[in-house]
Amino acid sequence: LGMVMQENGIKPEIEIFDAGMVYNALYYLKKGVLKAPLHFQFVLGAAGGMDATVENLVFLKSLIPAGSTWGALGIGKGHLPIMYAALALGGHVRVGMEDNILYAKGVLAKSNLEFIERTKRIVRELNKEIATPDEARQILRIKC
């Protein structure tokens, strides 16, 4: 599948739930099935995966090859700490109801828009900018 994606100009998002998954990606990079630079998405707090802690995020980030792009998300109560840490460490973030249905403790989200608007406020407060679609393509080094 990796070779088919390369032939069709598709860049995979490599979702990482634990450290072993990073090592799998590195193995496939070495074998040529994946092509650098890679893009990793750290998913922390999922059942069976690593806890959503800043320490785990820093550890996972330390395993990826230089030049890789990465993002992170925390499921449940780890959502905001992981978002803040990812932004502070130079990563990207993913938000939405796919990963969290609670906007706050005991408060069901009404829509993805709530998560997006909060993320925009946080990014602005950290003196960062939201990438435009064209900027995101440049960051990820994809063509379409």
| Domain layout of the chain by residue ranges | 1-140
Q: Which tokens sit at 140?
A: 């990820």
**What are 12-53's pLDDT values in tens digits?**
999 999 999 999 999 999 999 999 999 999 999 999 999 999
Band of residue 117 on the pLDDT scale cut at 50, 70, 90: very high
Helix axes 112-125, 79-88, angle to 10 degrees: 40
Domain range 1-140, its CATH number among 3.40.50.2000, 3.40.30.10, 3.40.1360.10, 3.20.20.70: 3.20.20.70
pLDDT at 96: 92
Please state whether 21 falls in left (phi above 0), alpha (psi between -120 and 50) or beta.
alpha
Q: Which tokens sit at 54?
A: 């800043």
DSSP designation for 93: E
DSSP designation for 76: G
Band of residue 59 on the pLDDT scale cut at 50, 70, 90: very high
Count of Cβ atoms closer than 10 Å to residue 76 Cβ:
14
Give the list of residues 6+ apart from residue 85 with CB closer than 8 angstroms, or none.
54, 57, 58, 72
51 and 80 Cβ atoms separated by less than 8 Å? no
pLDDT for 79 beyond 90:
yes
Please give the mean pLDDT across all residues of the chain: 95
End-to-end alpha carbon distance in the chain: 20
- Overall average pLDDT of the 88-106 stretch: 94
What's the whole-model pTM score?
0.93
pLDDT for 144 beyond 80:
no
Band of residue 72 on the pLDDT scale cut at 50, 70, 90: very high
49 and 43 Cβ atoms separated by less than 8 Å? yes
The CA distance from 26 to 47, in Å, is 24
Q: Which residue matches tokens 């406020």?
A: 121
